[in-house]
A and B are shown apart, each in its own frame.
Chain A
Amino acid sequence: MANMKNVKLTNPADVKKGEVIVSVKDLVVQFSVRHRILTAIRHISLDIYKGETIAIVGESGSGKSVFTKTLTGMLEENGRISNGSIAYAGTDLTQFHTNEDWLNIRGKRIATVFQDPMTSLNPLRRIGSQITEVIRLHRGLSKEAAKAEAINLLKRVGIKDAENRYNDYPFQYSGGMRQRVVIAIALACAPDILICDEPTTALDVTIQAQILSLINELKQEYGFTVIFITHDLGVVAEVADRVAVMYAGQIVEYGTVNEIYYDPRHPYTWSLLSSLPQLGEKGETLYSITGTPPSLFNEIKGDAFAPRNPYALEIDFVKEPPMFKVSETHYAKTWLLDPRAPKVERPAIIGEISDRVAKIYSHGGEE
């Protein structure tokens, strides 16, 4: 393998807002688990545009996190990309293999905010040193300059009294404050792309709202692209421009937020939206999807969602559907969109969803 450390990456400023920044083509990720092959990502293709916030939603085990891990080479030891390409900054990221290859990408160009702020920071090192570490490494600033920069960042993410709290340890911070520090670290090198891997799941609701609005503000200010992983569709409505819905290692539908919320086409997206607790009415039984996702150890025939899908057609069990185009920005992977398919009425709740969403968010549902 050639030394990938010296690969020339193009300048992120060369990509204009709205142009494709990451292009994933036919990606397959496999893990070897006790001598068996688990295919976690099955032929995903997706373009991500500069400056947008794209949310990737789906239930646990659908491959959301694995997908974003391939962007920073953070797959577990037993995982590998067995097919496809990821084009970013003029290189194919699937060519990177060792941790050393990735050093110029991670933190510097693509930063990640993880789910649990309580464990993301080293408990035995001062907050300040954990921030300056990155600044000095990637930006080569002096010790004093890095400290000044770190304090600025802490202030920017909303840590009060940043000068004094610079020398604190993580255990002296609350969960929300720690997530702010993690965001400050992620921002330290003004990255191109910020991957947020369920950044608010471990936080309580009021803090969630603060962190979300902080990420939104910072995005406006720094102009980076956000890839937002979540299983909370309420969060998606608040932050995302576009949504990609994942099921069993595939993207089954993607489109703008409005398209996904008001005109969903895939039965899985219908089920997801129908089971949103925020959209439930008092007294009604909350919808839940029956069955369990298929085991990714086995080869999946046809549409992976078919066995759980009340609208499944016979062909769903035989042949995998292609991506059907709904509009320029909206695609869905279901045979229901085929001209030959019978007309299917989608669940009533989907029709009412716009009213319900409007009702919740006009009342300020996050308060």
Chain B
Amino acid sequence: MDTTLKQENKFLVALKKVGRAFKNQTFLYIVKRVLSSLFTLVLLVALVTALIRLLPDTKFYDVATYKKIAGTSKVMANRWRSMQLFLAGRADANGNPVPVLYSIGRYILNILPYYKTIPQSWTDYSCTTVLESWTGFVYLGYSKSMSSYVTNVIASRMGISFRISLYTIIFSYLFAVPLGIAMAKKPGGTVDKIGNVFIVLNYAIPGLVFYLVMWDVLGNANGAFGWANFGLAYDETRPLTLVPPIFCIVFLGIPGISIWVRRFMIDELSSDYVKFARSKGLSENRIMYTHVLRNAMVPLVRNIPATFLGAIIGSYYVEKIWTIPGTGLLLVKALQGVTPDIDLIEGLTVIYAAISMVSFLLGDLITILFDPRIKLESN
């Protein structure tokens, strides 16, 4: 009797907690944002799937191969073609075309994050299993060009891009924010002028040229930095090989942050509360660091998650030059083959869309942490 009561109480307490959470405006806002993001994602999937279905069937199998097989056996060639179309999701196992709405619905079910098994197994006419069935949470199809499931391809390549992106963000802000502050301290002064020259020159250098020059200058064993042994290509056993690419991205990324830090600092410096703080007898440095900096960072922090998650998408040039197996190369690879790797392209589209939605939401949440005036409301 007692125990059942206790259990009931526990249950009631849990229920109350949930109830309270639902009364919390911020929590409600997040729930609403996640739901609307999911809805947007579904719309996107529908649109992309419908567009892909507009492509002719010949984009999904190599016509030359079909003709070659047809030279020996027409039946075998048709059999081969229907297998290709089935793998592309355009026909069922018997070779009948699948309706567009069905394709859309199936793709949406596949990306909904619940544990599922996709019965993809396919036995070709010689009774060999071509494809294993797949189990997991988010199914994005099978990548022909990488000969693996899209989810696995992206997951295995995201790690390195994630690491590079993390270091890049940390170092960019570490250098760019103090530069912006130093420039804002005396607009038009020496530091500001030098900073401006640096920023203009930095913008003027074409990224690719800078990457290639730095690739040689930093990596060449006989060059000025030969002693550091950075190397010309990424090697996962030697983390030092990441220094040149990270240096390049950070160096080229500094102006974009610095000019905004400078600009927002100068905006804040001319405001009344700074005048009042000065009349209170606070020193300029103290005003700069305890009053102005934080206020100037509010519009900047909103972009940090977007920059960070955006970097996960990877940079094509950097990954190509230093041969880093990241996500940046995937999209180009998917487009290169004889027939485009449609599943990989669609999978990347969905992943990128999801990443940008998450980063916008995170940006908003970070802004509330920094600015108490902002309240997120669900209605």
Which among A105, A123, A138, A171 is the interface contact of B273 at CB below 8 angstroms? A123
A119 to B372, CA, bound (A): 16
Contacts of B259-310 to chain A: CB distance below 8 A: 271-273, 275-284, 290-291, 294-295, 298
Structural contact, A99 and B283, CB atoms closer than 8 A: yes
Q: Is A103 an interface residue (CB 8 A)?
A: yes
Cβ–Cβ < 8 Å partners of A182 in chain B: 276
CB of B178 to closest CB in A, whole Å: 21
- A124 close to B372 (CB less than 8 A): yes
Complex formed: what's the CA distance from A87 to B275 in Å? 24
A122 contacts the other chain (CB 8 A): yes
CB distance from A184 to the nearest CB of B (A): 12
Residues in A with CB closer than 8 Å to B290 are 133
Kindly state whether residue A53 has any CB partner on chain B within 8 Å.
no
Contact residue among B276, B283, B370, B373 (Cβ-Cβ distance under 8 Å from A120):
B276
Q: Across the interface, do B276 and A102 meet the contact criterion of CB distance under 8 Å?
A: no
Q: Are A122 and B291 within 8 A (Cβ)?
A: yes
Chain A residues, CB < 8 A from B271: 119
Q: Which of B358-379 contact A (CB under 8 A)?
A: 370-373
Q: Are A120 and B372 in contact (CB under 8 A)?
A: no
For residue B295, which residues in chain A have a CB less than 8 angstroms away from its CB?
122-124
Is A104 part of the contact surface with B, judged by Cβ < 8 Å? Answer: yes
Q: List, in ascending order, chain B residues with CB within 8 A of A114's CB.
A: 272, 275-276, 279
Decide if A169 touches B272 in the complex (CB within 8 Å): no
Q: Smallest Cβ distance from A182 to chain B, in angstroms?
A: 7
Centre residue among B272, B284, B291, B295 by max chain A CB count within 10 A? B272
A106 proximal to B (CB < 8 A)? yes
Q: Contact between A106 and B280 (Cβ–Cβ < 8 Å)?
A: yes
Partner of B373, one of A72, A99, A121, A123: A123
* Residues A133 and B370 in contact in the complex (CB < 8 Å), given A120-B272, A121-B273, A124-B298: no
Total interface residues on A, CB under 8 Å, equals 30
Residue of B nearest to A114 (CB): B276
- Contact: B273 with A111, CB < 8 Å? no
- Is the beta-carbon distance between A112 and B279 smaller than 8 angstroms? yes
Measured CA separation A169–B372 after assembly (Å) = 8
Expressed in whole angstroms, the Cα–Cα distance for A100 and B282 within the complex equals 9
Q: Determine the distance from Cα of A220 to Cα of B278 in the docked complex, in whole angstroms.
A: 27
Q: Is A267 an interface residue (CB 8 A)?
A: no
> In the complex, what distance in Å separates the CA atom of A120 from the CA atom of B291?
12
Q: Using Cβ atoms and an 8 Å threshold, which residues of chain A touch B280?
A: 106-107, 111, 133-134, 137, 185
Residues of B within 8 A of A108 (CB): 281
Task: Find residues 121-136 in chain B having any chain A CB closer than 8 Å to their own CB.
Answer: none
B294-A124 in contact (CB<8A):
yes
In the bound complex, CA of A120 to CA of B274 (Å): 8
A68 to chain B, nearest CB (A): 11
B275 CB contact (under 8 Å) in A74, A100, A102, A105: A74
Chain A residues with CB under 8 Å of B294's CB are 124-125
In whole angstroms, how far apart are the Cα atoms of A124 and B369 in the complex?
11
Kindly provide the distance from the CB of B242 to the nearest chain A CB, expressed in whole angstroms. 37
CB-CB < 8 A to A134: which residues of B?
280-282
A-facing residues in B9-52 (Cβ within 8 Å): none
Shortest B369–chain A CB gap in Å is 11
Q: With A99-B284, A124-B295, A124-B371 as given contacts, are A111 and B279 in contact (CB-CB < 8 Å)?
A: yes
Query: A138 to chain B: which residues have CB within 8 Å?
Result: 281
Complex-state Cα separation, A132 to B280, whole angstroms:
11
Contact A119 B272, beta carbon cutoff 8 Å: yes
Per a CB cutoff under 8 Å, which of B272, B370, B371 touches A116?
B272
With both beta carbons as reference points, the residue of chain A lying nearest to B283 in the complex is identified as: A103
Residues in chain A near residue B279, CB distance under 8 A: 72, 74, 106-107, 111-112, 114
Which residue on chain B has the smallest CB distance to residue A107?
B281
Among residues of A, the one whose C-beta sits closest to the C-beta of B271 is A119
Q: Compute how far the CA of A100 lies from the CA of B283 in the bound complex, rounded to whole angstroms.
A: 7
| Distance, CA A99 to CA B290, complexed state (A) | 17
In the assembled complex, how far is the CB of residue A130 from the closest CB belonging to chain B, in whole angstroms?
8
Give every chain B residue within 8 A of A119 (Cβ-Cβ). Answer: 271-273
Chain A, range 38-57, C-beta contacts under 8 Å to B? none
- Cα(A133)–Cα(B298), bound, Å: 22
Q: Which residue of A lies closest to B372 (CB)?
A: A169
Bound together, the chains give a CA A122 to CA B277 distance in angstroms of: 9
**How many angstroms from the CA of A72 to the CA of B371 in the assembled complex?**
31
Return chain A residues, CB-CB under 8 Å to B273. Answer: 119-123
In the complex the two chains form, what is the Cα distance from A180 to B281 in whole Å?
19
Instruction: Give, as a whole number of angstroms, the nearest-CB distance from A136 to chain B.
Output: 11
Query: Nearest chain B CB to A71's CB is how many angstroms away?
Result: 10
Residues of B near A104 (CB, < 8 A) are: 281
Residues on the B chain within 8 Å of A74, using CB: 275, 278-279
CA distance A265 to B277 in the complex (A): 40
Enumerate chain B residues within 8 angstroms of A112, measured Cβ to Cβ: 276, 279
Q: Report the nearest B residue to A120, measured CB to CB.
A: B276
Q: Besides the contacts A122-B295, A124-B373, what 20 more A-B pairs have beta carbons closer than 8 Å?
A: A74-B275, A74-B279, A100-B283, A103-B281, A103-B282, A105-B281, A107-B279, A107-B281, A107-B282, A111-B279, A114-B272, A114-B276, A120-B272, A121-B276, A122-B273, A122-B277, A122-B291, A133-B280, A134-B281, A182-B276
* B→A interface (CB under 8 Å): 271-273, 275-284, 290-291, 294-295, 298, 370-373
12 contacts between A and B (CB under 8 A): A74-B279, A99-B283, A108-B281, A112-B279, A114-B279, A119-B273, A122-B291, A123-B273, A124-B373, A125-B294, A137-B280, A137-B281
| A binding-site residues for B, Cβ under 8 Å | 72, 74, 99-100, 102-108, 111-112, 114, 116, 119-125, 133-134, 137-138, 169, 171, 182, 185
The 7 closest A-B pairs by CB, nearest first: A107-B281, A119-B272, A106-B281, A107-B280, A112-B279, A120-B276, A122-B273
